[in-house]
Amino acid sequence: MVLDEPGKPLRETELPDPEPGDGQVLVEVSACGVCRTDLHVVDGELPKPKLPLVVGHQIVGRVLGGGERFSPGDRIGIPWLGWTDGECRYCGSGRENLCDNARFTGYTLDGGYAELAVADDRYCVPVPDAYADAEAAPLLCAGLIGYRALRMAGDGERLGLYGFGASAHIVAQVARHEGRRVFAFTRAGDEAAQSLALELGAEWAGDSAGTAPEPLDAAILFAPVGELVPAALRASAKGAVIVCAGIHMSDLPSFPYELLWEERVIRSVANLTRGDAEEFMALAPQVPVRTEIEVFPLEAANDALARLRAGEVRGAAVLMPPRSWVASTKR
C-alpha cells in the first residue's frame, strides 16, 4: 500500500521485491501496526517524507535472509528508528533518538504496509514468544515509545494518560505493574475508551477537559491536541511532569504562568533508542502486557487509518498481508 502524495489515499500496487543492502535483512511481513504517526505522514503533517512511500513502523515478520544478526526464520520486529549515523553529538552521548541524520521506518525509509520489507538489522529486535504476530505489532511503537514517555514522566504515583488508544492502553498496564495509579482522560463521552481504561486498571476515566478526583504527579499526552497541555497542567500537582508523546500536535494555546509555576515541567519525547526497544521487549511479557487489537487485511489500510482518525479503534489497529490474514482467520 503506497503513499504517492500526502493527502491522498494509499494505493494498492505490486512493487518489485526489495533487495537487502549491506547489513540489511529481508523480512516477510506477518503484521504491521497502525500508528497515529502514520496518519500524520499520510495527512501531510510531517515534512519531507520519502515519496512514493510504504508507511508503517511496527513490523513483525520472519527473516528470509541478509544481514548478520539474525538467521532465516527468526521472528523479529522492525521499529521506527531505522538508522543513525553513529557519529553526531547526539549519537555520541547516548541519545541516538535525537540523531541529526536519523532515518525512520515508514517515513524516510520504506516500512511495513507491505508483504516484504528490508531493514538494517542493528535496529531490529527479537519478538517475545509469548505474543502472536498481530498482538506483538503494537509493542513496537505504541509500546516502546509509550514506555520511553513513561520513563520521562518520572516516578510520580498518580499518572494521567490523555488519549486512551494504542499507546495508553499499553502504558497503563506497565504503570499498574510499577504500582502507580492511573487516571484516563478521553474525548468527552468516549465510553469505549473509558471502559477499556477501567478494564486495564485505571481507577478513574473521564473527559480530558476536566480534572481527576486527585491531582496528577505526571501526565502523558498521546492525543495530538495542544489544548490538552494547559488542561493537564490544571489537573496536576506541584512538581508534575507533563510529557507530550506524539510527533505532531496542534498549537499550544497561551496560558497563565501560574499553571506552570511550582516546578511543573512540560517536555516532549522524540523517537526511541535501541536500548528502549530492548528494555521494553524484555519487560512486556513480564508485566505481562496484553494488547487489545483490531485486525484489518493489508488492502484495507485506508479503512484502518480512517477509523483511527475518527477515534473508532479500540486499542490498536493492525494490518496483516494476505498470507498471514488467511492463516489467522483459519486459526
Chain contacts with Zn ion (rule: CB under 5 A):
35, 37, 84-85, 88, 91, 99, 141
The strand pair at 81-83 and 103-104 is best described as antiparallel
Rounded Cα–Cα distance for residues 316 and 37 (Å): 13
Listing DSSP states for 207-250 in one string gives: ETTS--SS-EEEEEE-S--TTHHHHHHHTEEEEEEEEE-SS--P
Nearer to Zn ion, 91 or 139 (CB): 91
SS3 of 189-210: the string is CCHHHHHHHHHCCCCEEEECCC
Measured CA to CA in angstroms, residue 127 lies from 63, 78, 87 at distances of 12, 10, 28
Instruction: Provide, rounded to whole angstroms, the least separation between the CB of residue 259 and Zn ion.
Output: 29
Instruction: Provide, rounded to whole angstroms, the least separation between the CB of residue 123 and Zn ion.
Output: 13
Residue 88 DSSP SS3: coil
Nearer to Zn ion, 205 or 272 (CB): 272
Rounded Cα–Cα distance for residues 294 and 315 (Å): 7
Instruction: Provide, rounded to whole angstroms, the least separation between the CB of residue 216 and Zn ion.
Output: 24
Nearer to Zn ion, 84 or 194 (CB): 84
Nearer to Zn ion, 20 or 138 (CB): 138
Instruction: Provide, rounded to whole angstroms, the least separation between the CB of residue 101 and Zn ion.
Output: 6
The side-by-side arrangement of strands in the sheet containing 181-186 is 204-207, 181-186, 158-162, 216-221, 236-244, 265-268
What phi, psi does 64 have (nearest 5°)? -95, -30
Cβ-contact 106, 41 below 8 angstroms? yes
Nearer to Zn ion, 88 or 287 (CB): 88
Instruction: Provide, rounded to whole angstroms, the least separation between the CB of residue 125 and Zn ion.
Output: 15
Neighbours of 315 (CB within 10 A): 22
Instruction: Provide, rounded to whole angstroms, the least separation between the CB of residue 37 and Zn ion.
Output: 4
Nearer to Zn ion, 81 or 320 (CB): 81
Nearer to Zn ion, 99 or 240 (CB): 99
Instruction: Provide, rounded to whole angstroms, the least separation between the CB of residue 138 and Zn ion.
Output: 9
